[in-house]
Amino acid sequence: MDDEEPLIRLVDEGRLGQSSESRGRERLLQHLAEEGASLVGTLLDLAERESVVTVRTSAGRAHHGVVAVVAGDFFVIRSDTGQRTYLRTEVVTTVRPHRRERHQPASGDRTPPLDLFLGEALARAASGRPRVVVVTLGSDVVAGDLLATGTDVVTVRLDGDARSLCYVAVNGIAEVTFERS
């Protein structure tokens, strides 16, 4: 028995050393992931978890819901009422996950799985003539029916007058909310 005891101690010490090395590697990998974090990667992580978030934009607006889609230059927030808001990624100032959920520091560094840009997404939606609220980078608000999307311009028939149109530069759009019908 005395001969086995040193062998058992040696095996136990080896296990402890491996466990310590493994934890050290995990900490290093987590640190590297945090250093390489991107907003898009973080949004993808939140979407996969179906986390409820509040997103604030440089236009001073706030949107509350779940990140439903992450694409080329925008993402979609779906509210609890089903309303969808397309937000240009570059206008986001903060993303706050619901405080009742547990979250780690940002660590996602991935590209969006959907190779689609805001102008293309609006062009696909225009055929249904949905009611939208468009907010520009300059905080102008344009509400009405989305009639058409061209190469770099969106046409909206304004609320209240079927003959009044507004042309909005796609590159000037901060967000588009699709009203529920």
Note the pLDDT tens digit of each residue in 75-85. 999 999 999 99
Lowest-pLDDT range of 54-58, 96-100, 130-134, 173-177: 96-100
Tell me the C-alpha distance between 178 and 172, whole Å: 17
pLDDT at 16: 61
Tell me the C-alpha distance between 59 and 174, whole Å: 8
Tell me the C-alpha distance between 135 and 60, whole Å: 11
Burial of 57 (0-12, 13-18, 19+ CB in 10 A): buried
CATH architecture label of 39-97? Roll (2.30)
Tell me the C-alpha distance between 137 and 146, whole Å: 18
CB contact burial 71-91 (16+ within 10 A = b; e otherwise): bbbbbbbbbeeeebbbbbbeb
CATH assignment of 118-178?
Answer: 2.30.30.100
Lowest-pLDDT range of 2-6, 39-43, 109-113, 125-129: 2-6
